[in-house]
Structure 1
Amino acid sequence: MWPIAGSVALAVALLSTPAKAAELPAAKGSLVIIGGALRPDNAAVWERIVQLAGGQGARIAVFASASANPEKSGAALVERLNKYGANAFFVPVAVRLTGTDYQAAADNPELAAAVRGAGGAYFAGGDQARITRVLRRPDGSNTAVLDALWDLYRRGGVIAGTSAGAAIMSSTMFGHPKPVLATLKQGLTDGQEITPGLGFIGDDVFVDQHLLVRGRFARMLPAMLKKGYKLGLGIDENTAMVVGPNRDVEVVGYKGALVVDLSAADARQGAIFNVSNVRLSYLDNGDRFNIARHSFTPAPDKADGRLDPARPYYREPLFSADILGNSTVVDLMGKLIDSDQPEAIGLTLDSANAVQPELGFEFKFSRTGESVGYVSATTEAYSVYNVRLDIRPIVVKRPLYQYR
């Protein structure tokens, strides 16, 4: 038995009997990518994880590898999943797990067999670099437990993750990035701000989390351009993107997700970030987006709520002085799509004590012939598809003088 104290020891003892590996079908499984801060009462997300893992009694392997306290986090997640009907167990593979050798654990055949035989896996939040550190060997090859996760996924199981557990879903993830505005000013270093993820969603989609609450949509753009991604998915807190085997994405939870399309974007070369013709879409709860077809489907409560451009609700200029604020980008996009204005402007500025304090950025959102919006008759929430975004650097004169 692996030396673990407390409530997790019993879970580890259950791993002593290797599960029989199932034959791998051609179809892949599903992903549940959660933007962080998943609340215990968000039944829609928890129940979907259990359902995709096989329903009541489904075996779900819990990885608290990213956590600063894996024992506590792992025990809490096992308890939470079990309350929603799962038969979850803790996988003792973590850098900060007391009294264990994480490298030996990640290649332990009994642990790998238990993971392979499960119907799903769940990754806790924390530091995503800890996940890749424990699941890949120093030479970059897969450990036995990571191979087992891939077998589980390819066989048809579900892999879910929140925050750090969401970041690992793409083949590139943020490692130790600078703040969003500093990223726009100073760029990204491969191997430092961005590092390799585990790539469950494929090599063609970039994933980010805590998106709207922390204004992180803006940092996705330089990362995607640097690594050659054309498509990005960003998910907000207490919300999930459920990605099925047909690459259909459904948004489930409290807020929503952004689809970032750089297929026609034009980025100017230089040290300061400057890009035009980004395509931005907001998916609200219940909306769907197909990655392969690039098609959008509004939630059932919005199906009859397509907005008529000839009957706009908003009739004044649209502007925000803090486009990186909590959900500001979505609020501005919603107003634009239901407005008589052709564009909306957002700014982001820095402290006078920051690096390059005179440098800010203008975000211009524009409606095009392909822009479309829907509104729910019950919640008045918007879904907004295919808005154009241009970002350019601007000069902010310092010091700021009082208006007279």
Structure 2
Amino acid sequence: MLMSVLALGSAQAGTAIVIGGALRHDNAAVWQRVVQEAGGAGARVAVFATAAGNPERSATQIINTLGQHGAQASFIPVAPRLPGVDLQAQLNDPALIEQVRQSQAVFFSGGAQELIVDTLQPGGQPTAMLQAIWAVFQRGGVVAGTSAGAAIMSRMMFRDAQDNLRILQGQWRQGHEYDRGLGFVGPELFIDQHFLKRGRIGRMLPAMQALGYQIGLGVEENSAAVIKGAQIEIIGARGALLVDLREARSDTKLGAFNLRGARLSYLDQGDQHDLLSGQTTAAPHKRREARIDPSASDYKPYLPHGHFFGDILAEGAIVSAMAQLLDSPERELLGLAYEPGPRGSHNQLGFEFRLYKTPDLNGWFSGALGSEDYTVLNAHLDVRPVRMAHPLYVPLPRR
């Protein structure tokens, strides 16, 4: 790892639990872990539904679920959409600030992440309430967040960037698509959420390039990354995609987003990764299986072939392509990111994603949990801009 990555663990005293959104209330692995990291039964958790459209309802659901796992959770009524409440009075209430400061964990709900930063960090300046949250974290406490509450975890964040393809095509404005986050995972790690479900590899790559990030982590729905310094552990239903641009290069002469030599790793539930050493430890049920190494002399791929991905930004497509690359004879796999233009057009900007094998590609497969689960390490990726035509195909003529 480069020395700059050392900053990932140097200033982090507490535990950040980054939840990819759509967290089910029966996902005991994640809820129990929040309570466990906060000190176990009786842990005091301050719940912020600042991002929520209906803060009381969101907070009540979170408090009830945390309570079922032994926490003593309470609602901190600091939310712009909370009716009948003076936001500034609550935000600056010394009693509420002290209540947060004495908590062992803070939990941020989902919703609109811009409401969190605009409320707690207006104009980039931390409020006394945010300083109280930081006090919890700096003495070894927990800051957890789901969806919007995950987005604010990195130093910079997506503010409102729903269209992956528009970001790839260059739409990128401070205060619109991106903004300052709160930075609980340190200055060098970039976070995204709802990652596989919404095909957000399409926005993460250009965002990291534009913001100068070398390491990114995209967490899938109903899953979480438990981050302590440079240590990452994946828990919950699925996993997270680790994006490494340290060796990536681009060609400014192309005039559109492009990338060569990005490195992607899919960390599944139970996997652990050390950002300093770059080492991944697969989940115990994976380690009971033989490691898949396409460079080994006895490599026998399970899949007969790979596929072309007509929409690489579709749900789960990027990880499916990585798994096929690992466990098939294909040396490379291709996919497209594009949107058809007007019929007859031949100049729409799209992007070709090329995943390819290098000697360090390896991983694991297991069916022990009832599904086909892969861990894939070091798939390499190039992205190049292409011109698309509409229609892409024409019907065969009648004979």
TM-score (norm 1): 0.90
One-letter code of the match for 2:53? A
Aligned to 1:387: 379
Q: Distance in 1 between matches of 2:218 and 2:351?
A: 21
Aligned to 1:54: 39
The alignment partner of 1:149 has SS state of helix
One-letter code of the match for 1:313? Y
Aligned to 1:7: none
Q: Distance in 1 between matches of 2:198 and 2:393?
A: 29
Q: Superposition pairs for residues 88-167 of structure 1, below 5 Å?
A: 88-138=73-123, 140-167=124-151
Deviation at 1:102, TM superposition (A): 1.9
One-letter code of the match for 1:339? S
Aligned to 1:80: 65
Aligned to 2:365: 375
Which residue of 391, 394, 398 corresponds with 1:402?
394
Asked if the contact 1:187–1:222 (Cα under 8 Å) also holds between the matched residues in 2, the reply is: no
Which residue of 257, 280, 283 corresponds with 2:264?
280
Cα separation, partners in 2 of 1:124 and 1:356, compared to 1, 3 Å: farther
One-letter code of the match for 1:371? L
Which residue of 255, 265, 275 corresponds with 2:248?
265
Is 1:69–2:19 an aligned residue pair?
A: no
Asked if the contact 1:307–1:338 (Cα under 8 Å) also holds between the matched residues in 2, the reply is: yes
Cα separation, partners in 2 of 1:351 and 1:398, compared to 1, 3 Å: closer
Asked if the contact 1:108–1:144 (Cα under 8 Å) also holds between the matched residues in 2, the reply is: no
Q: Unaligned regions of 5+ residues in structure 1, if any?
A: 1-25
The alignment partner of 1:151 has SS state of helix
**1:296-355, Cα deviation, whole Å (9 max, x unpaired):** 111111113301432111232431111111111111111110111111111122133599
Count of aligned residue pairs for this structure pair = 377
Asked if the contact 1:103–1:137 (Cα under 8 Å) also holds between the matched residues in 2, the reply is: no
TM-score (norm 2): 0.91
Q: Distance in 1 between matches of 2:347 and 2:72?
A: 53
Which residue of 342, 348, 353 corresponds with 1:363?
353
Q: Superposition pairs for residues 223-238 of structure 1, below 5 Å?
A: 223-238=207-222
One-letter code of the match for 2:141? G
Q: Distance in 2 between matches of 1:308 and 1:235?
A: 25
Q: Distance in 2 between matches of 1:353 and 1:101?
A: 50
Which residue of 304, 307, 332 corresponds with 1:315?
304
Asked if the contact 1:214–1:326 (Cα under 8 Å) also holds between the matched residues in 2, the reply is: yes
Aligned to 1:213: 197
**1:227-275, Cα deviation, whole Å (9 max, x unpaired):** 110000010000000012x421000011110000010111222542111
Q: Unaligned regions of 5+ residues in structure 2, if any?
A: 1-10
Q: Distance in 2 between matches of 1:353 and 1:203?
A: 42
Aligned to 1:22: none
Aligned to 2:320: 331
One-letter code of the match for 1:345? L
Of 271-280 and 346-355, the range deviating more from structure 2: 346-355
Q: Distance in 1 between matches of 2:325 and 2:102?
A: 49
Deviation at 1:360, TM superposition (A): 1.7
Aligned to 1:40: 25
Q: Distance in 1 between matches of 2:56 and 2:166?
A: 35
Asked if the contact 1:30–1:243 (Cα under 8 Å) also holds between the matched residues in 2, the reply is: yes
Percent identical across equivalent pairs? 45
CA RMSD of aligned residues (A): 1.8
Aligned to 2:5: none
Q: Distance in 2 between matches of 1:220 and 1:38?
A: 21
Cα separation, partners in 2 of 1:318 and 1:40, compared to 1, 3 Å: same
Q: Which runs of 4+ in 1 moved over 6 A?
A: 354-357
Asked if the contact 1:187–1:272 (Cα under 8 Å) also holds between the matched residues in 2, the reply is: no
Deviation at 1:142, TM superposition (A): 1.2
